Structure 1
């Protein structure tokens, strides 16, 4: 299957890499030739072997989408820019081509309004890319059952489990992720437990997934803060960022990239909990002075 991936950012690269790994012929399109070839080279290095022959790069939209059965818009930009991209794309693809939008910050319904045949539009988001085993299939108001089912089958072909969700702010995976991180941060604020123990409670000893505070550091605390602010504005106060998160960002404790967030990091490894790292008091504990 020919899959066109539009964009050269991280989402586009991860999506293209997943599609190549699944055996699809991928065309990666960007507006800057150097960026395109850099992303193509990164994907080839990541995958290695003959499978890397499954990706080509181009700066031409028509050369990217011509003959494609699936077009995934993973460009960066606001609703208007995505709407313009998919509208132009629609004039160059066949009637049966799926047009997917990959951006958790946008309404797929709003983007699809730019299409003459909006029933072909759908959202497609790889959770924990590029190797995550969940793909969200986002059903816009215009999406038909046939489009949903074809996209679900495509997601299964990526060796992933499709999760069908309604087109609402944050969809499913992002909302759950941010809600979990926000509650973990509030537990630190309230002195419920230490940083590492809060993560252990989530992992329950056997999980192969990091706890919410490690993940927050890996995402970048500034990124988490921005995402929470966005959902708080589009949904309600449940997603209002905890004050401790704001303070850490203001103080430069931005997570793994800065060497300190909720953990102190050495290279790519979390070591000890960073301040504040509460301990649970006992009857004979020494009083803590702040």
Structure 2
């Protein structure tokens, strides 16, 4: 019997991570990425991730090879056959871009259509769909293969059957889900960005060095990672985009600090560029 098909739109960090866990869970995965170089890089990243999992004893070489064999990349949604079980949109956090992708993806008639948005209203995204009852948010966390949480976001039109399908998918992907109702930033981003922005303001005000601010949270509050290191891992550009979305929804309490805006303009985006609040080499903090 052919494996169920799951389509991920967007071959960036999050899209590749979603493809990894889906292929590992037995889905035949089609990763849609318009940039051939990025598509190739995503496949190589996932190949390396499976090799590492084999080396760590977390999977077998045969299972890793089988998962990689279930993954293929395509350059457009037009190359995807109709009626996949699931389509997950994972393109950058821009409302109109996501709407455009979701409108096109809906024409494939998937059993479940979802967005991996971390902050944009599911109702605003679903407003352009003909069947918003079959649409919800599936907010994965980075790195997808390591983070247990999956935030399922119910839009104003999301049906009970869609909610149940999303919960079943979360379990199949090995995730521990929470269900939240639609609001900009949902639960996780609204809380996480609040802490991250305040930590950046503290750096801006000269309260303490980034490492000391982070240590205060890891040792004093048992956070596994400080808010500034997490900002580097997530990407300062992503933090800025989410802050701007939340500012529009909730006002200036989410206004991005000038330091964040300046660092993004300078290309200091965190781990992916090698420099943020910390210096990174080969994906690891150089001072760690």
Both structures adopt the same fold (TM-score exceeding 0.5) = yes
Does 2:115 correspond to 1:101? yes
Partner of 1:53: 69
- Report the alpha carbon displacement of residue 62 of structure 1 after superposing the two structures with TM: 5.2
Whole-Å separation in 2 of the counterparts to 1:66 and 1:103? 23
Whole-Å separation in 2 of the counterparts to 1:37 and 1:259? 21
Matches within 5 A, 1:135-146: 135-146=150-161
- Report the alpha carbon displacement of residue 163 of structure 1 after superposing the two structures with TM: 1.6
Larger mean CA deviation between 45-54 and 152-161 belongs to 45-54
* Equivalent position SS for 1:204: helix
Q: Deviations over 1:102-132 (max 9, x none)?
A: 2224332222223222100111111123221
* Equivalent position SS for 2:80: helix
Whole-Å separation in 2 of the counterparts to 1:22 and 1:81? 29
TM-score (norm 1): 0.78
TM-score (norm 2): 0.79
Does 2:19 correspond to 1:16? yes
- Report the alpha carbon displacement of residue 36 of structure 1 after superposing the two structures with TM: 3.5
Equivalent position to 1:44, from 39, 44, 47: 47
* Equivalent position SS for 2:200: helix
Partner of 1:287: none
* Equivalent position SS for 1:92: coil
Q: 1:3 to 1:201 in 2, by over 3 A?
A: same
Whole-Å separation in 2 of the counterparts to 1:258 and 1:86? 29
Superposition RMSD in Å = 3.1
Partner of 2:180: 165
* Equivalent position SS for 2:179: strand
Whole-Å separation in 1 of the counterparts to 2:167 and 2:79? 26
Does 2:170 correspond to 1:155? yes
* Equivalent position SS for 2:162: helix
Mark the structure with the bigger radius of gyration: 1
Return 5+ residue gaps in structure 1 as ranges. Answer: 273-290
- Report the alpha carbon displacement of residue 188 of structure 1 after superposing the two structures with TM: 3.9
Equivalent position to 1:177, from 183, 192, 210: 192
Contact 1:28 1:64 in 2 (8 A): no
Whole-Å separation in 1 of the counterparts to 2:50 and 2:5? 18
Partner of 1:238: 253
Q: 1:255 to 1:116 in 2, by over 3 A?
A: closer
Partner of 2:125: 111
* Equivalent position SS for 1:136: strand
